[in-house]
A and B are shown apart, each in its own frame.
Chain A
Amino acid sequence: MANTVIGSTIVIDGEITGDEDLVVQGTVKGRVGLRENIMVEESGVLEANVETATITIHGTVTGDIQAAERAELKSNCRVVGDIRAPRILIADGASFKGNVDMDG
């Protein structure tokens, strides 16, 4: 199954739901609800509340994140919002503002 990719010049304003991996290189505004993995690349901008299994952030996320398994903030990422996940990894150099809830 092909990955879903939101290219760098693409803007989606609305809601994305589904059950496959999502790679964000462009901009997504609204809501994202997946049962799989989200990868926000360096050019990617997520202005949305996110529900997913795992999320890996290299770019920018503004909004609340709820991950069933894991949330990973890589270096040079910018995240503003609350994160709720059983495992949260924040790399050196990452920028984050918000609450963290690791109760799962």
Chain B
Amino acid sequence: MASSRQHSSGTVPATDGLTVIGQGIHVHGRIHGEEDLRIEGRVEGGISLTETVYIAESGVVVATIDARDVVVSGVVVGNVSATNSVSLEPGAKLVGDISAPRLIIADGAAFRGNVAMTEGGSAPPKRARTTTSRSSSSSTSTKTKTTKASRSSSSSSSTSQSRASTAKRSTPRVAAIRAPKSTARPDDEVTVIVKHAALSEEEEPKASKSTKKKAKKSPPRGRVPKPGKRRVNRR
């Protein structure tokens, strides 16, 4: 104990730039700031820092602590919330709830309370990725379809007409997006239309499906080699 006490006082010397609440000091109230704080005395109330709070072995804190890192060697009664880590050293006593991404409890530390180690906000990006991958895959598959369809365009002219009809149906919905692409690349025009039709199938609610299903069913008759392409895509 004695050696560790010397060690702890040696690692954090009481020099300028470091705030120390000494052993003989009792603070009753709120402490907040943007630098390390070492507590060897007694603090009651609240502590909120952007840096590290050290509670030395002689320190007693009856307060809600909010900091980046909290290192406890003494006694803390109150909830502790850290944006980085909470560390309970040997000899530490903590009664209260801990909320931090990282929690280190050493052998010899006493703790009673709840722990929340949650880090929030991973769901929204996943959704975004899945939607983009879907749209890209659908667009690539439609491109291959259209190229092969154009090879056999002489035989399946009726198919292209049916596609054009789907395009006319979908134009009011995607007019703003479709217009610039069609002007830039006249060859890809059919591709773009089919792509948007596929997108709108996924996105739009059931009410408009009835009209689309008719449009959806008619093109596959012309696109006989569809399963073959899928195999090619997988390879």
Contact = CB atoms under 8 A, between A and B. Distances in A.
Q: Is A bound to B? A: yes
Contacts, number: 87
Given A10-B31, A10-B37, A12-B29, A3 B24 contact: no
A39 B235 CA distance: 78
Contacts of B187: none
Nearest to B37: A10
Contact of B24 (A11, A13, A20): A20
B45 A20 contact: no
Interface stretch (B9-17, B129-137, B149-157): B9-17
Interface residues of A, number: 25
| Interface size range on B against A | 20 to 34
Contacts of B5: none
A7 B23 contact: no
Nearest to B14: A2
Interface in A1-56: 1-22, 25-26, 30
Given A2-B40, A3-B14, A5-B19, A19 B24 contact: yes
B27 A12 contact: yes
A20 B29 CA distance: 19
B35 A14 contact: no
A2 B27 contact: no
Interface of B: 9, 14, 16-37, 40-41, 45
